[in-house]
């Protein structure tokens, strides 16, 4: 297995764990996704949240109710330890988003940096 395949596999594991955390909103699930000094940008132009504790607190504050959305995704590309994830989120209230994530993975598979772009889809 080459480095690209390893990063792809790690990215897929990370997204699956992210989806679990999104569904449970469990602080332990959320915190396990990120390194202690991770940076998280909910929007690319914002100052990042720094550290898994701050990320977990903000995630809980913004939490979606489980069962209110459908989420599909795939790895769109790999560059070193960086993964690009293309996704789609459909909320039961009718909102529909296209998502692009950039995830920089640490050697242990947790995210060191995470930036998401979410664009509301016109119907």
The secondary structure of 35-82 as a DSSP string is: EEEEEEESSTTSPPEESHHHHHHHHHHTPPPTTSEEEEEEEEEEETTE
Structure tokens at 120: 């509301």
Mean pLDDT for the chain overall: 94
2 pLDDT higher than 80 = no
* Tokens 């701050």, residue located: 54
Beta-bridge partner residues of 104: 82, 113
Read off the pLDDT of each residue in 88-93 and give the average, rounded to a whole number: 95
Domain locations along the chain: 3-120
For the segment(s) 3-120, the CATH number from 3.30.200.210, 3.90.1150.10, 3.30.365.10, 3.10.450.50 is 3.10.450.50
Measured CA to CA, the distance from residue 122 to residue 97 in angstroms comes to 9
Read off the pLDDT of each residue in 8-33 and give the average, rounded to a whole number: 97
Contact between 41 and 15 under an 8 Å Cβ cutoff? The reply is: no
pLDDT tens digits for range 43-76? 888 899 999 999 999 999 999 999 999 999 999 9
pLDDT band at 1 (very low <50, low <70, confident <90, very high): very low
Measured CA to CA, the distance from residue 33 to residue 109 in angstroms comes to 8
Read off the pLDDT of each residue in 103-107 and give the average, rounded to a whole number: 97
Nearest CA among 18, 16, 28, 35 for reference residue 56: 28
3-state DSSP call for residue 26?
Answer: coil
């Amino acid at each position: 297995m080459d480095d690209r395949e390893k990063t792809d596999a790690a990215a897929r594991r990370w997204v699956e764990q992210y989806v679990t955390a999104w569904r449970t909103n469990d602080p332990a699930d959320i915190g396990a996704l990120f390194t202690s000094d991770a940076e998280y940008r909910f929007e690319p132009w914002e100052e990042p949240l720094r550290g898994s504790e701050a990320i977990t607190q903000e995630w809980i504050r913004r939490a979606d109710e489980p069962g209110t959305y459908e989420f599909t995704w795939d790895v769109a590309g790999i560059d070193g330890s960086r993964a690009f994830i293309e996704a789609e989120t459909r909320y039961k209230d009718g909102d529909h988003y296209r998502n692009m994530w950039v995830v920089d993975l640490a050697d242990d598979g947790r995210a060191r940096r995470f930036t998401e772009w979410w664009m509301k889809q016109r119907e």
